[in-house]
């Protein structure tokens, strides 16, 4: 068995945020190899999250983020199981990070299961037409479309996006899974709203210009 140093445990703890005891166990199980220990922690976090996913999450926090230029704002509700967990620094920081994620990346949905069947079918039609335009063989079209849909989820679904604060490009879903394991409660992103200054006003401006032109024509 590899000799696990306190420095190695701390480094893994700093990288993942997992408890010290769990980090040491991961290194022991992985013979002191950091990459394998990280993978071990990820698998354990996923298993923990799976066990907790069916538990009721009715407490939580509503938080908001306003970008420094005052042009973008986000309001979000994230649920957990107890008000105690909702008040911890880890949970509060998670909600704030997710608000910043929405502000930066503009997702439309929390997860892909919120997308209507009609919208998904329409998007698949677009991707299929694009593939045909490029002359792709009919036999591989379904696989190409599936790949494009997965990439599209990464654009429009919060949980499928790469987490902006993670240099390794892990998805928000993975960050959430790890935080569930660390806090020890089910955590659910329930809803969010993103506001962009002037969003939706363009049509009104065009209508005003049309009205001015119409009045000028009557003069």
Could you tell me which of 112, 190, 124 has the C-alpha nearest to residue 156?
112
Q: Indicate which CATH number applies to the domain containing 162.
A: 3.30.479.20
Query: Do residues 189 and 86 share a domain?
Result: yes
- Rounded percentage of the chain residues whose pLDDT exceeds 70: 83
pLDDT tens, residue by residue, 150-167: 999 999 999 999 999 988
Query: Do residues 19 and 123 share a domain?
Result: no
Query: Do residues 136 and 187 share a domain?
Result: no
pLDDT lower than 50: segments of the chain: none
Token code pair at residue 131: 């593939």
User: What was the pLDDT predicted at 4?
Assistant: 81
- The count of domains in the chain is 3
Query: Do residues 85 and 175 share a domain?
Result: yes
- Note the pTM of the prediction, 2 decimals: 0.71
Indicate the angle between helix axes 117-133 and 141-156, nearest 10 degrees. Answer: 130
| Block residue for tokens 């997710």 | 98
């Amino acid at each position: 068995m590899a000799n696990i140093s306190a420095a190695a445990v701390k480094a893994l703890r700093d990288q993942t945020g997992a408890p010290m005891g769990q980090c040491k166990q991961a290194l022991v199980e992985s013979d002191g190899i950091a990459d394998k220990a990280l993978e071990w922690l990820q698998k354990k976090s996923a298993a923990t999250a799976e066990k907790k996913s069916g538990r009721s999450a009715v407490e939580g926090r509503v938080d908001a983020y306003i970008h420094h230029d005052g042009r973008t704002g986000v309001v979000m509700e994230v649920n957990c199981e107890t008000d105690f967990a909702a008040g911890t620094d880890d949970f509060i920081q998670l909600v704030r990070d997710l608000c910043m994620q929405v502000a930066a990346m503009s997702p439309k949905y929390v997860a892909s299961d919120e997308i209507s069947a009609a919208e998904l079918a329409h998007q698949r039609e677009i991707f299929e037409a694009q593939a045909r335009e490029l002359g792709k063989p009919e036999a591989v079209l379904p696989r190409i479309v599936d790949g494009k849909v997965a990439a599209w989820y990464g654009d429009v679904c919060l949980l499928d996006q790469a987490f902006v604060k993670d240099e390794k490009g892990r998805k928000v879903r993975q960050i959430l899974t790890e935080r569930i394991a660390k806090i020890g409660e089910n955590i659910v992103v329930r809803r969010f709203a993103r506001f962009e200054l002037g969003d939706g006003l363009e049509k009104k401006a065009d209508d005003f210009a049309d009205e001015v032109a119409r009045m000028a024509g009557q003069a």
